[in-house]
Amino acid sequence: MKTISENRSFGGTQGVYSHDSSATGTEMTFGLFLPAEAQDGPVPVLWFLSGLTCTHANAMEKAGAQSWAADHGIAVIFPDTSPRGEDVPDDDAYDLGQGAGFYIDATQEPWSKNFKMWTYIADELPALVGEKFPLDMGSQSITGHSMGGHGALTLAMALPGRFRSVSAFAPICNPTNSDWGRKQFAAYWGDEDNWGPHDATLLMQGNGFDGPVLIDTGTDDQFGDLLGTAALASAMVERRQEGHLRMQKGYDHSYYFISSFMEDHIIFHAEALYK
């Protein structure tokens, strides 16, 4: 693992690191904020999964998570959204290829060699950070934005017992019924019969999540028709899922929206992580 940068931030350290990934076959970069409490021992962990076109840097630099995480003694991990490099397949469209890993493992060429983001986020990166940093990997929560909200919700429900709480900002909630999902699943997995259960609405209809859920979406989200929020809301009601789904008046899909409610999400996760 290489240290790219480390900067003092709200009494803690905001670092950026890279490593060779066996899952993706590429060098991967991630950000990690460690609060001051990490100097004295392992601290709870919050994962932030970013959306389409983003790298590790977008949320790290724009979401404003560090100040609130420092207040509650929580580490925040900011992974990248896909493998990258000259030899990594890509597409001219912004919503496929590099920057659009969708947090799944591709099985179709040319994507299957490198696009193994489920394995990377679920297995490889947690093992790495748990070994290298003072993190309490028994106390984890997860959040994300848009495509990353999709990833956060599906990881939380598909890995029971891993996360104590899950939240999302404007998540893609029903990708199997959206152009933000069907297009990518078809490219990465091929025929629809091969699609995995990586759909938050379908997972909610199944086992749901054994813990609290918080979802915020703006009423003026310019991508609202692609998110499938109503489908997930209905599934949560039918399952009687513990949680809150809030429609925030006048907010759009941007990081201005995310930073406006980041404090709420950090407090929400802190209550679960320290319960």
- The catalytic site residues sit at 146, 221, 253
Q: Give Cα 256 distance to the centre of its chain.
A: 18
Burial string for 230-266 (b: 16+ CB within 10 Å, else e) reads: ebbbebbeeeebebebeebeebebebebbebbbeebb
H-helix segments, 159-210:
179-189, 200-206
- For residue 40, the tally of other CB atoms under 10 A from its CB is 9
| Rg for the chain, CA atoms, rounded | 17
Residue 268: which residues within 8 A CB-CB, separation 6 or more? 165, 167, 212, 214
Report angle CA 59, 23, 14 to the nearest 5 degrees: 30
Structure letter (DSSP) for residue 177: G
* Distance between CA atoms of residues 135 and 214, nearest Å: 24
